């Protein structure tokens, strides 16, 4: 299979690059040994289910540079958007809003959505990736306009937006299993020593202060979108150290606090505090200032299918512009100044050429790297690291009884590998449902992303069970008997990891620049933080640039 | 052969006696747990048990050959019947109609078998030992065993082992006696191997029961009801228990009292008449919750009402009140009336999809004791209900006790006001519940006119009583609260706190 070639290429490149021969040998050897060992015990759990991920076949065609049939036809499109994740859809929305009709959105999967894709079964719809947004910062006019458009904001009461009652997360919202009991909220409290609590309070008040502080240029230190954050060097330099080093410097040692920060960092970036920059770590806590008429600050908005719901609102009006199963695999400059894009339809197996005046590439940079062989962006693609994730949607007939507060939307256990699970039925209105789907999120952050990704791709369904079930059994003893089905979903490149010296690096600044005023870029990896708001703004920015150039 | 009775045999007598009394105590305790009225239960159980022992003693004369082998078989049987008795009784308790037959059947069977034991044992031993000595010692140990049983049962066994495990333990002891006798007299018994095997298997079975006892049943439920349970059923949504004491019926849902037939009229008259009597034009009425049909019974007293739509989640509940004779008597066949349409659906989704408007809406949900029910007390829900209320119509909401839970009561009021409704809160005294609260709500332009007279035949509501109901003394006076929303569910928290002090 093509997977094998990929594995060899990437691994050997990796070894040459770092010459950590021995170490990698040991790690990969370990993974394979581990794999064999686990395979022998594959009948331990009698739980049916599936193992899926983004369409690897289409992706591999690109990666392995397979020979595709020659193009039979050429047509013209004024603006071509490549990728239908949030950034691509947002770009499309902006073009349409501004009267553009001649544009097309190409998607290599057979569905739109990227990381906001979702699934469903007989019981419920559930997220497969991103699953919530927080209420908008009140100065984020573009986002607020959009949320009004899709009835997430129903009206204003005075200056404050009133959010749709059905989309604000229903109470009870969050619980943490710690010291044998489920406590309310995720900040460790139950059975936590006083000294640790004091340190946690110190950290929270520090970030609270940062949240409301502006830099020497008058902008908030941390804001959403990131590009509107202050350029104050005193704080930008926090991007040059790791979050771990920052915390150590500030004297934070409480294991409970560090657990909480590792959890938060894994939750938003898929990496622990030692692998993200201090600027990114603080951004998580200090960038959200949203106020609403009918909810607390930073309240969360969610839907049974997670961000799949917002994605559908974006994609719906663009229906006629979207072409799925369309793999864009080569871009060439044309003598007339346009760009010739070769597109392979994975359904019809036919290839066609599209001559585009402008292109917005809304794909992650590791994909762009392969698309732009004929162009020179002069950037280091290796600086872009993506955290791999495993998502497990678990159909369950009844959660075992446990001590403390009852099932919440977000359920996290102290000191476990995952970042917990969400109840996808939280926003259901019906009183009683005998079955529900819970969505479990496991960031694969124990090894460097490239290694973790290879290991993830090589695991089979039973091996994932062996990883997930023991943790679930610790959280809810006896749960395996209540599980009816598990659908695993592996995101090899789940989200951009904001490592130190990435977000404000020269490399990233260069990556945001258009090529020849013809090819523009929009993706959350160009912000360095994989959140809906960034993708949304990235899309609008790129669309604005296109409109500026053409007008 | 030795003329003295071996200690082993005396211990057997002792064990047999202890077991016999334990079974009797178990049956008595279980009957008073499940059926209530312990004096009656214990008295009748002891009577039936002793009488059955008498039958057993009388029957013993018909056993002529192979007495030893019969004795061993009876021991095994007593062990099995006694050991499994409490489990079986707990399990068949669900089908309440036949429960007494099964209970007294078990008591009689155990009694007869236990009654057989001592006479047979004495006949086995009569030729081997001196009769005078035999009678003296056997009965001494018999009565000592009884004393021991009566002491350890309440002091040790019930608190530490519980009913089910105790029964299995003594079942095993009984069979152990059979095994010992079998081994001691194996030369005189023909099928000794077979009986040994049977004893062994029985002990294993009883041991399994002992180990899994906790999984088989839990007792807490039955202990909470002091009255006789006449119906019990678990539906997918709740556990319905109907109890009866003298003429009074009580309905419990998940252990919470829903009504008591001797004073429910106070609740249902207060819920329906202040509102509906003020709406002489009302044709279409909606009731949400209230699957017992008692509110519907009151509504059907108005000839101007053409249709009543009842939305209740639980088919088990509405079905019961459409079919059970006693309950049909209570709700006057309300749910069988051609004017009434029963819909089994989740109220939130149902209202959301509803377009038709209603002149009068009764919201009679269970108290907001958990997050699931709490959703039905939120501003989001009331917004939807407001949307299906006719412009001149009224709705009324049962709103828990303004005396015990003032914050909860006034939260419902505040939440209704927050969606742009004018509220008319009131309360009355329902002996089974205590002081109880209701809130009527209507469009702000409407003026609520207190009815000057009511339908004939009402037992509680009158012009004068409504005046009192509308007045809130200081100890139930209005308190400031927040609005209950899907994303805060403060009502559930208030309700929990306030009732925790009482219950």
Q: Which residue of B has its CA nearest to A168?
A: B487
B224 token code pair: 């909470």
| For range B380-407, the mean pLDDT | 96
- Find out whether B405 and B495 touch, Cβ atoms under 8 Å: yes
- Residue A7: predicted pLDDT: 39
Residues A17 and A111 in one domain: no
**Which pLDDT band holds residue B20 (cuts at 50, 70, 90)?**
confident
Residue A135, pLDDT above cutoff 60: yes
With 0-12 / 13-18 / 19 or more C-beta atoms within 10 angstroms meaning exposed / middle / buried, residue A233 is: exposed
A528 token code pair: 């360095």
Q: Which residues contact B103 (CB under 8 A, 6 or more apart)?
A: B27, B30, B31, B89
Alpha helices in A222-348 (DSSP H): 233-236, 243-249, 255-269, 278-286, 308-315
- Residue A206: predicted pLDDT: 97
Domains identified in chain A, total number: 3
Instruction: Write the DSSP assignment of B59-96 as a string of letters.
Output: HGGG--S-HHHHHHHHHHHHHHHHHHHHHHHHHHTTSG
Alpha helices in A166-242 (DSSP H): 194-211, 233-236
Do B7-220 and B261-500 show the same overall fold? no
What are the CA-CA distances from residue A360 to residues A356, A370, A540 (Å)? Answer: 10, 15, 11
Residues A141 and A252 in one domain: yes
CA distance A170 to chain B (A): 4
* Residue range A488-531, pLDDT digits in tens: 999 999 999 999 999 999 999 999 999 999 999 999 999 999 99
| For range A357-386, the mean pLDDT | 94
- Find out whether A520 and A360 touch, Cβ atoms under 8 Å: yes
- Residue A43: predicted pLDDT: 57
User: Which of the residue ranges A395-399, B13-17, B428-432 has the most confident prediction, judged by mean pLDDT?
Assistant: B428-432
Residues A180 and A244 in one domain: yes
E strand or H helix at B103: helix B99-125
Catalytic positions of B, written as ranges: 364
Residues A376 and A484 in one domain: no
**CA B79 to CA A224: how far, in whole Å?**
75
User: Any chain B CB within 8 A of the CB of A324?
Assistant: no
Q: Which residues contact A520 (CB under 8 A, 6 or more apart)?
A: A358, A359, A360, A361, A514, A542, A545, A546
Residue A13, pLDDT above cutoff 60: no
SS3 B231: strand
Domain end, chosen from A273, A302, A331, is at A302
Residues A421 and A485 in one domain: yes
* Residue range A97-120, pLDDT digits in tens: 999 999 999 999 999 999 999 998
- Find out whether A239 and A277 touch, Cβ atoms under 8 Å: yes
- For chain B, helix (H) and strand (E) counts, in that order, are 19, 11
Interface of B with A in 452-471 (CB under 8 A): none
Give, as one character, the DSSP assignment of residue A445.
-
Long-range contacts of A507-511 (CB under 8 A, 24+ apart): A507/A379, A507/A380, A507/A383, A508/A383, A510/A377, A510/A378, A510/A379, A511/A365, A511/A377, A511/A379
CB atoms within 10 A of CB B394: 24
- Residue B214: predicted pLDDT: 66
Answer yes or no: is A213 within a domain. yes
B378: chain A residues, CB-CB within 8 Å:
165
Residues A178 and A29 in one domain: no
| For range B389-411, the mean pLDDT | 96
Residues A261 and A164 in one domain: yes
Domain end, chosen from A302, A320, A343, is at A302
**Which pLDDT band holds residue A28 (cuts at 50, 70, 90)?**
very low
- Residue B1: predicted pLDDT: 41
Interface of A with B in 415-434 (CB under 8 A): 429-432, 434
- Residue B215: predicted pLDDT: 63
SS3 A429: coil
Domain end, chosen from A254, A284, A302, is at A302
CA A27 to chain centre: 26
**CA A277 to CA A226: how far, in whole Å?**
14
Between these two residues, A121 and A282, which has the higher pLDDT value?
A282
**Which pLDDT band holds residue B33 (cuts at 50, 70, 90)?**
low
Nearest to A384 by CA among A541, A203, A527, A189: A527
Q: Does the annotation flag B347 for ligand binding?
A: yes
**CA B22 to CA B25: how far, in whole Å?**
5
- Closest CB from A165, A172, A173 relative to B485: A165
- Residue A32: predicted pLDDT: 45
Answer yes or no: is A66 within a domain. no
| For range B135-156, the mean pLDDT | 86
Residues A294 and A206 in one domain: yes
Handedness of CA A218, A221, A225, A227 (dihedral sign): positive
**CA A458 to CA A31: how far, in whole Å?**
9
Q: Which residues contact B334 (CB under 8 A, 6 or more apart)?
A: B293, B294, B296, B297, B300, B340
Nearest to A100 by CA among A85, A79, A82: A79
- Residue A22: predicted pLDDT: 42
Flag if A406 and B487 touch (Cβ within 8 Å): no
- Find out whether A519 and A363 touch, Cβ atoms under 8 Å: no
- Find out whether B292 and B280 touch, Cβ atoms under 8 Å: no
CA distance A171 to chain B (A): 5
**Which pLDDT band holds residue B372 (cuts at 50, 70, 90)?**
confident
Angle, CA of A15, A21 and A24, to the nearest 5°: 85
SS3 B392: strand
**CA A190 to CA A173: how far, in whole Å?**
17
A511 token code pair: 């990556």
**pTM of the entire structure?**
0.74
Residues A50 and A75 in one domain: no
- Find out whether B420 and B474 touch, Cβ atoms under 8 Å: no
- Find out whether A167 and A238 touch, Cβ atoms under 8 Å: no
Domain residues for the domain of A101 are: 71-119+306-382+502-548
B236: chain A residues, CB-CB within 8 Å:
432, 434
- Secondary structure of A51-89 in the HEC alphabet? EECCCHHHHHHHHHCCCCCCCCCEEEEEEEEECCCHHHH
CA B132 to chain centre: 52
- Residue A299: predicted pLDDT: 94
B39 token code pair: 């004096």
* Residue range B67-126, pLDDT digits in tens: 888 888 898 999 999 888 888 877 776 555 567 788 899 899 999 998 998 888 888 878
**CA A369 to CA A515: how far, in whole Å?**
13
**CA B361 to CA B385: how far, in whole Å?**
8
Q: Does the annotation flag B268 for ligand binding?
A: yes
- Residue B94: predicted pLDDT: 53
Between these two residues, A266 and B61, which has the higher pLDDT value?
A266
User: Any chain A CB within 8 A of the CB of B486?
Assistant: yes
CA distance B483 to chain A (A): 10
CB atoms within 10 A of CB A399: 17
CB atoms within 10 A of CB A43: 7
- Residue A549: predicted pLDDT: 78
Residues A316 and A297 in one domain: no
A299: chain B residues, CB-CB within 8 Å:
487
**Which pLDDT band holds residue A359 (cuts at 50, 70, 90)?**
very high
Between these two residues, B48 and B232, which has the higher pLDDT value?
B48
- Find out whether A196 and A254 touch, Cβ atoms under 8 Å: yes
* Domain CATH for A440: 3.90.660
Give, as one character, the DSSP assignment of residue B251.
E
| For range A278-290, the mean pLDDT | 96
- Find out whether B295 and B334 touch, Cβ atoms under 8 Å: no
Mutate to test the interface with A, among B380, B487, B488, B492 (most CBs of A within 10 A): B487
Residues A156 and A237 in one domain: yes
| For range A29-51, the mean pLDDT | 58
User: Any chain A CB within 8 A of the CB of B303?
Assistant: no
**Which pLDDT band holds residue B37 (cuts at 50, 70, 90)?**
low
CA distance B100 to chain A (A): 34
A196 token code pair: 């640790």
E strand segments, A247-396: 300-302, 322-323, 326-333, 339-345, 351-361, 386-396
Flag if A169 and B487 touch (Cβ within 8 Å): yes
- Find out whether A51 and A464 touch, Cβ atoms under 8 Å: yes
Handedness of CA A251, A254, A256, A258 (dihedral sign): positive
Task: CATH number for B261-500: choose from 3.30.420.40, 2.60.40.10, 3.90.1170.50, 3.40.50.150.
Answer: 3.40.50.150
- Residue B224: predicted pLDDT: 53
User: What is the b/e burial string over B395-415, where b = at least 16 CB atoms within 10 angstroms of the residue's CB?
Assistant: bbbbbbbbbbbbbbbbbbbbb
B400: left (phi over 0), alpha (psi -120 to 50) or beta: left
**Which pLDDT band holds residue B35 (cuts at 50, 70, 90)?**
low
Between these two residues, A30 and A75, which has the higher pLDDT value?
A75
Handedness of CA B119, B123, B124, B130 (dihedral sign): positive
Cis check for the bond before A225: say yes or no (omega within 30 of 0). yes
- Find out whether A178 and A414 touch, Cβ atoms under 8 Å: yes
- Residue A21: predicted pLDDT: 44
Residue A53, pLDDT above cutoff 90: no
- Domain layout of chain B by residue ranges: 7-220, 261-500
Q: Which CATH architecture has domain B7-220?
A: Up-down Bundle (1.20)
- Closest CB from B313, B348, B487 relative to A171: B487
Residues A291 and A250 in one domain: yes
The pLDDT mean for chain A works out to 89
- Find out whether A78 and A358 touch, Cβ atoms under 8 Å: yes
- Residue B255: predicted pLDDT: 76
* Residue range A383-416, pLDDT digits in tens: 999 999 999 999 998 888 888 888 999 999 999 9
- Residue A305: predicted pLDDT: 92
SS3 A254: coil
A165: chain B residues, CB-CB within 8 Å:
378-380, 383, 485-487
- Residue A220: predicted pLDDT: 96
Backbone angles phi, psi at B309, to 5 degrees: -105, 120
* Domain CATH for A84: 3.50.50.60
Range of lowest pLDDT (A166-175, A330-339, B7-16, B306-315): B7-16
Tokens 């020179």 sit at which residue? A376
Alpha helices in A431-514 (DSSP H): 449-458, 461-475, 506-511
Residue A76, pLDDT above cutoff 80: yes
């Amino acid at each position: 299979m093509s997977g094998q070639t990929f594995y060899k290429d990437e691994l050997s490149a990796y070894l040459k690059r770092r010459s950590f021969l021995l170490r990698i040998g040991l790690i990969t050897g370990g993974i394979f040994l581990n794999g064999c060992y686990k395979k022998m015990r594959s009948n331990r759990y009698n739980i049916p289910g599936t193992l899926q991920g983004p369409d690897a076949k289409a992706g591999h065609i690109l990666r392995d540079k397979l020979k595709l049939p020659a193009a039979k036809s050429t047509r013209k499109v004024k603006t071509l958007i490549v990728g239908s994740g949030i950034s691509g859809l947002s770009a499309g929305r902006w073009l349409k809003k501004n009267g553009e009709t001649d544009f097309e959105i190409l998607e290599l999967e057979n569905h739109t959505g990227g990381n906001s894709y979702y699934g469903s079964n007989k019981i419920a719809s559930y997220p497969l990736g991103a699953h919530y947004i927080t209420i908008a910062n009140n100065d984020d006019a573009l986002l607020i306009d959009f949320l009004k458009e899709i009835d997430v904001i129903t009206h204003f009461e005075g200056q404050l937006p009133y959010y749709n009652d059905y989309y604000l997360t229903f109470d009870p919202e969050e619980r943490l299993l710690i010291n044998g009991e489920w406590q309310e909220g995720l900040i460790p409290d139950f059975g936590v020593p006083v000294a640790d609590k004091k340190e946690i309070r110190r950290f929270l008040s520090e970030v609270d202060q940062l949240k409301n502080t502006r830099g020497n240029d008058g902008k908030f230190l941390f804001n959403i979108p990131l590009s509107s954050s202050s350029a104050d060097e005193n704080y930008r330099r926090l991007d040059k150290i790791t979050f771990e080093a920052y915390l150590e410097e500030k004297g934070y040692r409480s294991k409970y606090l560090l657990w909480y920060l590792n959890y938060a960092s894994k939750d938003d970036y898929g990496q622990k505090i030692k692998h993200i920059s201090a600027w990114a770590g603080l951004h998580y806590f200090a960038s959200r200032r949203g106020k609403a008429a009918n909810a607390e600050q930073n309240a969360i908005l969610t839907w049974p299918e997670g961000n799949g719901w917002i994605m559908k609102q974006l994609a719906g009006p663009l229906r006629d512009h979207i072409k799925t199963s369309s793999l864009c695999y080569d871009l060439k400059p044309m003598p007339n100044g346009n760009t010739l894009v070769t597109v392979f339809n994975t359904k019809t197996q036919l290839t066609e050429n599209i001559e585009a005046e402008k292109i917005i590439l809304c794909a992650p940079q590791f994909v762009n790297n392969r698309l732009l062989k004929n162009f020179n962006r002069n950037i280091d693609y290796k600086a872009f690291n993506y955290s791999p994730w495993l998502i497990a949607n678990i159909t369950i007939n009844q959660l075992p009884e446990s001590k403390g507060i009852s099932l919440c939307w977000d359920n996290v256990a102290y000191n476990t590998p995952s970042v917990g699970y969400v109840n996808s039925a939280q926003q259901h209105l019906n009183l009683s449902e005998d079955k529900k789907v819970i969505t479990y999120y496991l960031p694969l952050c124990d090894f460097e992303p490239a290694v973790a990704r290879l290991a993830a791709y090589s695991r089979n369904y039973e091996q994932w069970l062996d990883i997930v079930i023991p943790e679930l059994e610790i959280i809810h003893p006896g749960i395996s008997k209540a599980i009816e089905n598990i659908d695993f979903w592996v995101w090899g490149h789940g989200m951009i990891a904001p490592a130190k010296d990435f977000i404000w690096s020269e490399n990233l600044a260069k990556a945001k620049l258009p090529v020849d005023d013809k090819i523009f870029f929009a993706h959350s990896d160009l912000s360095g933080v994989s959140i809906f708001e960034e993708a949304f703004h990235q899309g609008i920015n790129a669309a604005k640039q296109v409109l500026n150039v053409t007008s | 052969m030795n003329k003295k009775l071996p200690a082993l045999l005396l211990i057997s007598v002792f064990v047999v006696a202890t077991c016999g009394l334990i079974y009797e105590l178990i049956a008595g305790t279980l009957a008073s747990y499940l059926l209530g009225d312990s004096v009656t239960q214990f008295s009748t159980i002891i009577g039936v048990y002793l009488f059955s022992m008498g039958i057993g003693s009388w029957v013993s004369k018909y056993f002529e050959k192979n007495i030893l082998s019969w004795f061993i078989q009876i021991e095994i049987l007593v062990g099995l019947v006694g050991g499994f008795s409490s489990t079986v009784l707990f399990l068949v308790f669900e089908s309440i109609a036949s429960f007494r037959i099964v209970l007294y059947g078990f008591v009689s069977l155990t009694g007869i078998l236990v009654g057989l034991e001592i006479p047979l044992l004495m006949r086995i031993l009569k030729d081997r030992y001196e009769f005078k000595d035999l009678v003296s010692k056997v009965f001494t140990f018999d009565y000592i065993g009884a004393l021991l049983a009566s002491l350890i049962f309440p002091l040790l066994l019930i608190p530490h082992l519980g009913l089910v495990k105790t029964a299995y333990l003594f079942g095993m002891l009984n069979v152990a006696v059979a095994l010992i006798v079998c081994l001691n007299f194996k030369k005189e018994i023909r099928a000794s191997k077979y009986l040994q095997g049977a004893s062994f298997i029985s002990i294993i079975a009883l041991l399994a029961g002992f180990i899994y006892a906790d999984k088989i049943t839990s007792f807490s439920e039955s202990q909470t009801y002091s009255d006789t349970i006449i119906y019990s059923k678990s539906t997918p949504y709740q556990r319905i228990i109907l109890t009866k004491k003298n003429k009074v019926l009580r309905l419990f849902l998940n252990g919470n009292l829903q009504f008591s037939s001797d004073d429910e009229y106070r609740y249902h008259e207060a819920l329906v008449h202040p509102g509906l009597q003020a709406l002489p034009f009302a044709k279409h009425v909606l009731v949400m919750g209230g699957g017992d049909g008692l509110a519907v019974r009151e509504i059907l007293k108005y000839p101007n009402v053409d249709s009543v739509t009842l939305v209740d989640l639980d088919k088990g509940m509405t079905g019961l009140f459409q079919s059970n004779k006693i309950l049909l008597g209570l709700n006057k066949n309300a749910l069988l009336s051609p004017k009434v349409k029963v819909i089994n659906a989740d109220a939130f989704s149902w209202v959301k999809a509803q377009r038709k408007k209603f002149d009068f809406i009764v919201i009679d949900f269970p108290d907001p004791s958990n997050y699931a029910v709490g959703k039905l007390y939120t501003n989001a829900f009331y917004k939807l209900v407001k949307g299906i209320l006719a412009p001149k119509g009224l709705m009324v909401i049962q709103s828990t006790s303004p005396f015990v839970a003032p914050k909860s009561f006034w939260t419902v009021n505040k939440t209704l006001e927050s969606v742009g409704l004018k509220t008319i809160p009131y309360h009355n005294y329902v002996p089974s519940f205590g002081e109880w609260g209701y809130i009527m709500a209507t469009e702000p332009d409407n003026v609520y006119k207190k009815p000057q007279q009511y339908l004939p035949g009402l037992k509680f509501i009158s012009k004068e009583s409504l005046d009192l109901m509308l007045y809130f003394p200081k100890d139930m006076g209005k308190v400031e609260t927040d609005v209950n929303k899907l994303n805060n569910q403060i009502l559930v928290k208030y309700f929990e706190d306030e009732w925790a002090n009482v219950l």
